Amino acid sequence: KRNCYTPMTTSNLQLILILFLLISCFSSQVMSKDEDCGAEESGHCVNKSKARKLQWTAFGSILATSVIGVCLPLLTTRFKALQPDRSYFVIVKAFASGIILATGFMHVLPDSFDMLSSACLKDNPWHKFPFTGFVAMLSAIFTLMVDSMATSVYSQKNKSVSKVDPGNKESNDDVTKDTEAVVIDVNNNMHFHGHSHHHGPKEGAESQQLLRYRVIAMVLELGIIVHSVVIGLSMGASSNTCTIKPLIAALCLHQMFEGMGLGGSILQAQYTKMKSGIMVFFFSAITPFGIVLGMLLSNVYKENSPTALITVGLLNASSAGLLIYMALVDLLAQDFMGPKLQGSIKLQLKSYAAVLVGAGGMSFIAKWA
């Protein structure tokens, strides 16, 4: 029997509410009657009917590659060499972490700088202050607050379950049962028996690490879906076939590799099948949903309108700060400063190489997306 203490019983509901609040806010903004200050698109590349066909192609392609990318790490438990406690998993996770880091630095942050420094915006205040850097900084600090406080709250709840009166045998037995419910052995599904003072410290450490993985997975998914709905919306609203064609291939690779990073975090969080499925669904469906939303709003959405530039620019800046923080602090630093990598210089070098390959590959894709 596999039991698991699950402190975040409302996390998925919170994620859904936050997502729809963002979408509702964004939709209300783009529906405003701002005029497009940019030049009208013209030439052989602008063809709305052909663009629609490409957009539906993008819908199916991106959905399929997103599912493949996020599910690949979840299927590695079938292969002993790729299980979370193996060196190969650490290397693959380092590769995926490099991809997420490059997504923040090379894709999301530059887009925000371009939008918030556009000539379409008023000189004051948008050209007088670096809003992109400011919002990204605030986003990183806010992510740290959420990361730290959520972990602290859930840790306190876990400690309250583990408290025991040493002189009370019945209490000892109760805590032993509670501790058994917290600890999960991925490889052989072991059950821990005996008195709590023999296993308590080890089990407490494993439970604490599991809580950290769960907070990381939820916060990382939130940052990714905010960015994904924005890029999907931009593609869906465009009628430029010359832009859409290379963007489809670039976004397919982008979503696949980014999904691998998220899938690795979901795997380590050891969610139930239902919760894992919900997170996979949201990641996979959010960019195609953004494409459909952009197609529906294509008649009123003007990507060079001040409202659209400000809204998308600020969302991108906040997403960039979140992704950069998560990649550096919760993914890379946690692994490289952990006992497994600290105990092997050879494994560190392989993991650094994987990070550089992942970041380099995603940076190269930035040429098109």
Q: What is the pLDDT of residues 220-279, one digit of tens each?
A: 888 888 888 888 888 888 888 888 888 888 888 888 888 888 888 888 888 888 999 999
Dihedral over Cα of 343, 210, 273, 290: its sign: negative
**Closest C-alpha among 291, 263, 241 to residue 61:** 291
- Are the beta carbons of 264 and 96 closer than 8 angstroms? yes
Paired tokens of 276 = 């894992």
Residue with tokens 């550096």: 328
The DSSP secondary structure of 212-268, one letter per residue, reads HHHHHHHHHHHHHHHHHHHHHHHHHH--BHHHHHHHHHHHHHHHHHHHHHHHHHHHH
**Mean pLDDT of all residues in 348-361:** 94
Classify residue 62: in a domain, yes or no.
no
DSSP summary character for residue 46:
B
Q: CB count, 10 Å around CB of 69?
A: 25
DSSP summary character for residue 353:
H
- Give pLDDT tens digits for 160-202: 655 544 445 444 444 444 444 444 443 444 343 444 444 555 5
Distance (Å, whole) CA 351 – CA 303: 40
Classify residue 277: in a domain, yes or no.
yes
**Closest C-alpha among 178, 183, 180, 138 to residue 162:** 178
Residue 148's pLDDT is 85
Classify residue 243: in a domain, yes or no.
yes
* pTM summary value: 0.72
Residue 351's pLDDT is 94
Classify residue 273: in a domain, yes or no.
yes
Classify residue 80: in a domain, yes or no.
no
Distance (Å, whole) CA 327 – CA 102: 9
Residue 9: band (very low, low, confident or very high) from pLDDT cuts 50, 70, 90:
very low
Distance (Å, whole) CA 234 – CA 238: 6
- Give pLDDT tens digits for 74-94: 887 677 766 777 888 889 889
Summary mean pLDDT of the chain: 77
Classify residue 305: in a domain, yes or no.
yes
Distance (Å, whole) CA 250 – CA 330: 26
* Burial environment of residue 6 by CB neighbours within 10 A (0 to 12, 13 to 18, 19 or more): middle
Distance (Å, whole) CA 132 – CA 130: 6
**Mean pLDDT of all residues in 37-49:** 66
- Are the beta carbons of 278 and 13 closer than 8 angstroms? no
Structural domain count, the chain: 1
- Are the beta carbons of 51 and 241 closer than 8 angstroms? yes
Residue with tokens 């997306």: 369
Domain that holds residue 242: 85-157+205-368
**307 or 10: which leads in pLDDT:** 307
Residue 162's pLDDT is 57
Length of the chain: 369
- Residue 168 φ/ψ region, left for φ over 0, alpha for ψ in the -120 to 50 degree band, beta for the rest: beta
Residue 51 has pLDDT above 80, yes or no: yes
Classify residue 66: in a domain, yes or no.
no
Classify residue 91: in a domain, yes or no.
yes
